[in-house]
Structures are given as C-alpha cells and as structure tokens.
Amino acid sequence: MKIMKFGGTSVGKPHRMHEVATLITKDTEAKIVVLSAVSGTTNALVEIGNFLMERRKEEAKIKIDTLQEKYNAFIQELVSTTDAKHKAEEIIKEHFEFLNIILRISYNEALNKDILAQGELLSTKLFSVYLTEKGIQHQLLPALDFMSIDVNDEPQVDTIRQKLNGVLANYPGFVLFITQGFICRNARGEVDNLKRGGSDYSASLIAAAANASVCEIWTDINGMHNNDPRIVNKTIPIEQLSFDEAAELAYFGAKILHPASIWPAQQYNIPVKLLNTMEPEAKGTLIQEKAASLGVKAVAAKDGITAINIKSSRMLLAYGFLRKVFEVFEKYRTPIDMITTSEVAVSLTIDNDTALPQILKELESFSTTSVDKGQTIVSIVGAEIAVHPNTLKKVFDSLQNIDVRMVSYGGSAHNISILVASGQKIQVLQQLNIGLFGLH
Ligand code: ADP
Ligand code: ASP
Ligand code: MG
C-alpha cells in the first residue's frame, strides 16, 4: 500500500482535483490518499475563528458567506451531472450550516478546532463526489475515526495503526481510500489538528501506521530546494536527502514539509518522495535512510524566534545551574532550539513564547535575564557538514557583514545554525546561496 498526500494548491482548483484523480489511478497499488483543504480555506477559517474570538460576528458572517460562494462556484466546474452537483451542494450546505450555527454559540478553543476542521472535510467529500461521478471506486475514511493525539497532544503510531486497521477491516477488497490530512481527535475526544501544514504529518503517520511502501507528498514545486524559493531568486531542487537531513530542514523552516513530518517515516523506514502535481514527471526529492553525499545540501530559515540570555546570579556557572534552567522550560513545556554557554551565562532560543512571562519570572529567582525578540534561525544542513572541510569557514566568509547573535555547531553532525535579527534574513539567505552553492 502507498500513501499519496496532496496539498492545498494541488486540490486548489477544480481542474487540479481532476488531475489528482488521474494521478491516483495511474497504477494498481492500493493507496490511502490524504488531502489538504482547498488552498486559502484554512486561512479563511483561521480568520473566521479570530473574528468570533473577538466577538466580531458580522465580519465572521461576511467571511463565511464569501467562502461559501467560492465553494458554490468550485463545484460547478468540479462535477457536471445534476446528481453529482446536487450531492456536492448538499455537502456545502451541511458544512456552512454548521459554521453559521457556530456564529450563535459563544467562542471557545474546542469550537475553534471544529471550525478549522471544515476545510479538509469539505475537500475530501467534494473530491469523493467527483470520483463517484467518474465511476472510480473508492472509500472515504473519516480521519477522525483513526487519527489521534494523546494527553500530551502527541500522535502515537501504534494507536493510530490499531484504529486504522480496525477501520480498514470494514472494507475488504477496496484499493482506494481517501482521507483528511491535518485533523485528528485529542485525548478528550474533541476534534483537534496537527497544527498548520499538518497534512504532511498526517501522511507520514498514516504511512508508518500502514507500513506503506512509500509516502508521496505531492505539492506545487519540484521537491526540496537548496534554499527558500520564496526569498532567494535562484534555487535548485535536491534529488536525494537522508531522513536526518530532511528532518533538520523541516524543523528549521523549509515550509515544504511540516516540522515534525519526518520522524514517523524515519522510525518505520518508509521512503518519502516530494513530488510536483503541476509537473508529475519531474524527479522531485527522494528521502530515505542514507545520505547521497556528504556536505552542504540546503539552507532553511525559521522566523519568530526569541533569544533569552540567562546569567547566573552567583557569577559562576556552577554545576546544577543548567539543570535549573532546563527545568523551568520543561515545566512550561517550551522546547529550546539553540543553546550556547559561557562561564557565567547561557543563551538559548525558543519559538513558542506563550509562557515567556512565567519562564522569566522563575529564571529571575536565580539569574538575570535579557530577551531579544524578532530573531531568525538560519540552518545550514547536510550530512556530516560539521566535519566537512571548510564548511564553517565558507559560512562565515559569506556572512562577513552580518551581526550573528548566536552559533550552534557540533550538536548535530548535519546542521550548523546561526541566529540573526529577522531583518537580516533575506540578506543572509542570499549571501549563503552565493557562498555555499555558487548560485547568483
Ligand atoms: P502544500 O500546500 O502542498 O502543503 P506548502 O505551501 O505547504 O504546500 O509547501 C510548498 C511550498 O514550500 C513551496 O511552494 C515553496 O514556496 C515553499 N518552500 C519553502 N522552502 C522550500 C524549500 N527549501 N524547498 C521547496 N519549497 C520550499
Ligand atoms: N489545511 C491545513 C493548513 O493549511 C493543513 C495543510 O494544508 O497541511 O495548515
Ligand atoms: Mg504544506
């Protein structure tokens, strides 16, 4: 069995959905097809949720109506028979009635997750209507029946496998399944999600749970590029990456993959392919256990980083100091990305600063702190780059005019990270593109 995941742009227009139908029926291998919401939908749903949170109901209503009109137009081109059009209209009606009911209920977090789930529910159900119209036998699998996260909001492959096998057992003889990316149930049984961009993560978790032959991530670009194509003019696709390399790139900001989407595939050794729906014959990127070569492969950047400098009030970095520091971050469930130390101080970075006030308060009971917001981590990734001759020199030669706030080297053999003010990110990515890849 293989997994094929199609992102927002890949299902973003009726004719794109038609192309997806062609792609998933090209071979006879059994498959689970994971779909994102139609592009723009999740952003619109986030805005609707925000309006409701701020009690701006009229604006929420306008957004809901505009989105509904978009879907009404979408299905006119998606399907052609009266019967299919009728079915599609009923689906749209059902989901928009739900959004309109929510307008009358007072806002809460759980309800907001329900709002966000509508995008993937709509895309998969409408796609299913199209497949039926085309006579393509398939079964729609509700992701909420098998995708789950535990009390710590973490997905567990074993639990998902057990549930998925239970669901699949109801459909012997079926070879084509369609399901929603992104959405899941949490430990309280409520509708939840795997965070923005989470459909990649869904696909990889399902691939691990189903012991798939391959996890194909179909998107709008020819695989992982050596640098961020939204920022740098000249970037080139990478044919092969190891799981370690891909995981570092995803975690440190390469938007093509959800930050956590590699570990399930890596843990269960399932190859991942990044492919382009707009150019299905292009090679894309193959991600598997072994690196194709040593040395620098790509650069990625992660914004929204806060740097915290923590100075021991005893003016000595006595043993026990770091433990006390880490305990504070653990207590507030705030992961640390980068860390550097000196004799008396430690500098570290976090990307989630929701608990920052409480964290600072506790740190200040045994240290003095200072905070720099608006930072960006730029990661240079490639197998064994930490020991690859000259990499570090090339990085710093490329960045002579840049104020580097922190450097992390040697923690991972595959990653060198630097911290810069976000205002310098574009310049850093461009200069590294020239200095490391010779791409102008
Ligand atoms: P999807 O909707 O299919 O999940 P995304 O928008 O989430 O697609 O991811 C694909 C986009 O990621 C590309 O269009 C590209 O702009 C962006 N991107 C950022 N960094 C990279 C990179 N290193 N390689 C390829 N794409 C990247
Ligand atoms: N639709 C969700 C989002 O836009 C999940 C995804 O596309 O991967 O974040
Ligand atoms: Mg994505």
Residue 380's closest CA among 440, 436, 303? 436
Cα 265 from chain centre: 14
Tens digit of each residue's pLDDT (9 = 90 or more) over 360-381: 999 999 999 999 999 999 999 9
Q: Is 224 in the pocket of ligand 1 (CB under 6 A)?
A: yes
Q: Is 379 in the pocket of ligand 1 (CB under 6 A)?
A: no
Kindly tell me if the per-residue pLDDT of 208 is higher than 60: yes
Greater confidence (412 vs 47) lies with 47
Section 301-308 average pLDDT:
98
pLDDT classification of 152: cutoffs 50, 70, 90? very high
Nearest atom, ligand 2, residue 39 CA:
4
Nearest atom, ligand 2, residue 120 CA:
1
Q: Is 219 in the pocket of ligand 2 (CB under 6 A)?
A: no
In terms of phi and psi (left: phi > 0; alpha: psi -120 to 50; beta: otherwise), the region of 153 is left
Q: Is 253 in the pocket of ligand 1 (CB under 6 A)?
A: no
Q: Name the pairing type of β-strands 2-6 and 31-35.
A: parallel
Q: What's the gap in Å between 42 CA and the centre of ligand 3?
A: 11
Q: What's the gap in Å between 40 CA and the centre of ligand 2?
A: 9
Kindly tell me if the per-residue pLDDT of 315 is higher than 60: no
Q: Is 119 in the pocket of ligand 2 (CB under 6 A)?
A: yes
Best residue for ligand 1 mutational test, from 36, 39, 182, 221 (most atoms within 8 Å of Cβ): 221
Residues in the chain: 440
Q: Is 7 in the pocket of ligand 1 (CB under 6 A)?
A: yes
Q: What's the gap in Å between 267 CA and the centre of ligand 3?
A: 21
Section 414-435 average pLDDT:
97
Q: Cα separation of 187 and 160, whole Å?
A: 13
Q: What's the gap in Å between 196 CA and the centre of ligand 3?
A: 8
Per-residue pLDDT, 204: 98
Per-residue pLDDT, 316: 59
Best residue for ligand 2 mutational test, from 182, 191, 192, 206 (most atoms within 8 Å of Cβ): 182
Tens digit of each residue's pLDDT (9 = 90 or more) over 319-348: 888 999 999 999 999 999 999 998 889 999
Q: Chain-wide mean pLDDT for the chain?
A: 96
Section 401-414 average pLDDT:
93
Q: What is the DSSP letter of 387?
A: G
Give me 33's structure tokens. Answer: 């097809």
Percent of the chain with pLDDT over 90: 94
Q: Is 36 in the pocket of ligand 1 (CB under 6 A)?
A: yes
Section 223-237 average pLDDT:
97
Specify the 3-state DSSP secondary structure of 105: coil
Best residue for ligand 1 mutational test, from 241, 248, 255, 379 (most atoms within 8 Å of Cβ): 255
Per-residue pLDDT, 386: 81
Taking the CA atoms of residue 351, residue 357, residue 360 and residue 362 in that order, the dihedral angle to the nearest 10 degrees is -120
Tens digit of each residue's pLDDT (9 = 90 or more) over 80-103: 999 999 999 999 999 999 999 999
Tens digit of each residue's pLDDT (9 = 90 or more) over 284-301: 999 999 999 999 999 999
Task: Fill in the amino acid letter for 371.
Answer: V
Tens digit of each residue's pLDDT (9 = 90 or more) over 114-129: 999 999 999 999 999 9
What is the DSSP track for 326-377?
HHHHHHTT-----EEE-SSEEEEEES--TTHHHHHHHHTTTEEEEEEEEEEE
Per-residue pLDDT, 26: 97
Section 162-182 average pLDDT:
97
Best residue for ligand 1 mutational test, from 204, 218, 219, 236 (most atoms within 8 Å of Cβ): 219
Ligand nearest to the CA of 197: 2
Ligand nearest to the CA of 218: 1
Close Cβ partners of 225 (under 8 Å, ≥ 6 residues apart): 235, 236, 237, 238, 256, 298
Per-residue pLDDT, 317: 58
Percent of the chain with pLDDT over 70: 99
Per-residue pLDDT, 76: 98
Q: Cα separation of 175 and 262, whole Å?
A: 25
Q: What's the gap in Å between 57 CA and the centre of ligand 3?
A: 29
Ligand nearest to the CA of 20: 1
With b for 16 or more beta-carbon neighbours within 10 A and e for fewer, the 284-301 pattern comes to bbbbbeebeeeebbbbbb
Best residue for ligand 2 mutational test, from 16, 36, 219 (most atoms within 8 Å of Cβ): 36
Residue 288's closest CA among 368, 199, 383? 383
Q: Cα separation of 206 and 220, whole Å?
A: 22
Q: Is 197 in the pocket of ligand 1 (CB under 6 A)?
A: yes
Q: What's the gap in Å between 4 CA and the centre of ligand 3?
A: 14
Give me 318's structure tokens. Answer: 């006595």
